[in-house]
Amino acid sequence: MGEDSETVGATGAEAAGDGTAGAERATGGCLCGAVRYEAHGPPLATLYCHCTSCRKHTGAAAVALVGYRRDRVRYTKGAPAVYASSPGVGRAFCADCGTPLTWEGDGEDEGPLIEFLVGTMDAPERFAPARHIHYGERLAWFDTTDRLPRHAVWEDEPPVAHAPAARPED
Ligand SMILES: [Zn+2]
Ligand SMILES: [Zn+2]
């Protein structure tokens, strides 16, 4: 780490995952600004999660998440509160303004993982999701128009669809 100063203020132009690990830097934070973070290197994955826990944590129909190994992430201002939503899983939020910030847990081969809610990034345009997970818990009235793979639970199983589902009343 530490080779980060060149890309301060970078926006959507650069290609993610192009092998220039360390050159990429992403920053973000909560609504009130009490908590700020930065992440280094290309993200491991960017995805939509449709699970009930993410829905409850955020109040959103679905969430976009971008994941990093925990050792690629640091808080640069303040520190979030963390709610333990299940054994080994934390969900961070700003204790001042309530902004939900992360899913945190075991990334298996990658070790400890932090996934930031893409909407808390300073440049969320950079983090277009590549897949949907927990699609089986999707709200029947909600989908997105992309052709990304939709996994019922996780990507270790083949996707159940590559297109938006019809709404029940359609
Ligand atoms: Zn805040
Ligand atoms: Zn989820």
- Position 107 scores a pLDDT of 86
Ligand sitting nearest the alpha carbon of 52: 2
Position of tokens 């993982």?
113
Q: Which ligand is nearest to the CA of 49?
A: 2
Dist. CA 90 → ligand 1 center (Å): 17
**pLDDT surpassing 60 at residue 22:** no
**Percentage, residues of the chain above pLDDT 90:** 81
CA-atom Rg of the chain in angstroms: 16
pLDDT tens column, 98-146: 999 999 999 888 899 999 999 999 999 999 999 999 999 999 999 999 9
* Closest ligand by atom to 33 CA: 1
pLDDT at 61 over 70: yes
Residue 69 CB coordination number (10 Å): 17
> Residue 30: which residues within 8 A CB-CB, separation 6 or more?
36, 80, 93, 94, 96, 97, 99, 101, 120
Q: Determine the distance separating the centroid of ligand 2 and the alpha carbon of 137, expressed in angstroms.
A: 9
Tell me how far apart the alpha carbons of residues 130 and 168 are, in angstroms, rounded to a whole number. Answer: 25
What pairing do the DSSP bridges indicate for beta strands 112-117 and 131-133? unpaired
Confidence class of residue 23 from pLDDT cuts 50, 70 and 90? low
Q: How far is the CA of 130 from the centre of ligand 1 (A)?
A: 28
